[in-house]
Structure 1
Amino acid sequence: MHAGGGQTTIIDAVNAAEEAREQWRLPAARHGVPVVFIEVVCPDAAVHRGWFEGRSRVIEGFREPAREAVELRRKEFVPWSDDRLGLDGMLGLPSNVAAALGFLAAAS
């Protein structure tokens, strides 16, 4: 999503529910700028669990979610209706970055 002043904004969020996705569509529409969604998934539950348990995001004022909360959100995840790029987190950074850049270029 492009912010005011011609800058691009990247939001890294789960967006498991339609209401969460709408919070990005509405301001984009209000400002007449495109919004592009990229969904990154990890199809291997054991690898995902390892990534989750091994991360350390020390964000002031933000408590890390418990594993149980992540699993609950996964079960309640509403399928996307938007056009989006789906990336497999297992494929590696270089191929996913190339795919994302191509998708973004085509969307602009």
Structure 2
Amino acid sequence: MLIVIGGLPGTGKTTLARLLAARIDAVHLRVDTIEQALVRSGLAQHPVGPAGYVIGYALAEEHLRQGLTVIAESVNPLAVTRDSWQSVGFQAAAPVVEVEVICSDPAEHRERVTTRTIDIPDLPLPDWQQVLDRDYQPWNRDHIVIDTAGQAPQDSLALLLDRLDHPGGR
């Protein structure tokens, strides 16, 4: 299975993806990690453009073909990137579940963005205005939405696990 997790910076995507990967023993592919590796190699500079996503697609397909569950985590802001993740699942004959992580409380979201620490060396983090100004297209198909506002990461994980177990309900 391919679980695609997207959402604006500071919503809790990485935290949720890491918790889910540990719980279900899945591969966690983080596009930020791929992009920063490209920058460190000297082959790219920020903003990297589509290269990180293209590498992510290839890695996800390879892992899926090996029978592994993959959690692909990125902002995933555009319909074209979401469609590309769908294509990866189709090519690997694996089901795809899309998850959008949001933080519906603007004050909490802003606090997260302005106080978080870098966990990938030298990765530039966006400031609050950059998050607000980001081109983030609405999702145009059914997907799971997890609102992390006002709850602990473990509570968001429990909600996601429930939604993964009951995709059509709740």
After TM superposition, list the pairs within 5 Å mapping 1:2-81 onto structure 2: 3-60=64-121, 62-73=123-134, 76-81=135-140
Identity %, equivalent residues? 29
Contact kept, 8 Å, 2:144 with 2:163, in 1: the verdict is yes
Measured at CA, do residues 21 and 44 of structure 1 come closer, stay the same or move farther in structure 2, by a change above 3 Å? Answer: same
Q: TM-score under structure 1 normalisation?
A: 0.81
Q: TM-score under structure 2 normalisation?
A: 0.55
Following TM superposition, by how much is the alpha carbon of 1:29 offset from its aligned partner in structure 2, in angstroms? 0.8
Measured at CA, do residues 31 and 85 of structure 1 come closer, stay the same or move farther in structure 2, by a change above 3 Å? Answer: same
Measured at CA, do residues 51 and 104 of structure 1 come closer, stay the same or move farther in structure 2, by a change above 3 Å? Answer: same
**Could you tell me how far apart the structure 2 residues matched to 1:27 and 1:85 are?**
19
Following TM superposition, by how much is the alpha carbon of 1:60 offset from its aligned partner in structure 2, in angstroms? 3.4
Structure 1 window deviating more from structure 2 (82-91 vs 27-36): it is 82-91
Unaligned runs of 5+ in 2: 3-62
Aligned length: 105
Considering only aligned residues, what root-mean-square deviation do their CA atoms show, in Å?
Answer: 2.0
**Structure 1 runs, 4 residues or longer, greater than 6 Å off:** none
Higher strand share: 2
Following TM superposition, by how much is the alpha carbon of 1:84 offset from its aligned partner in structure 2, in angstroms? 1.1
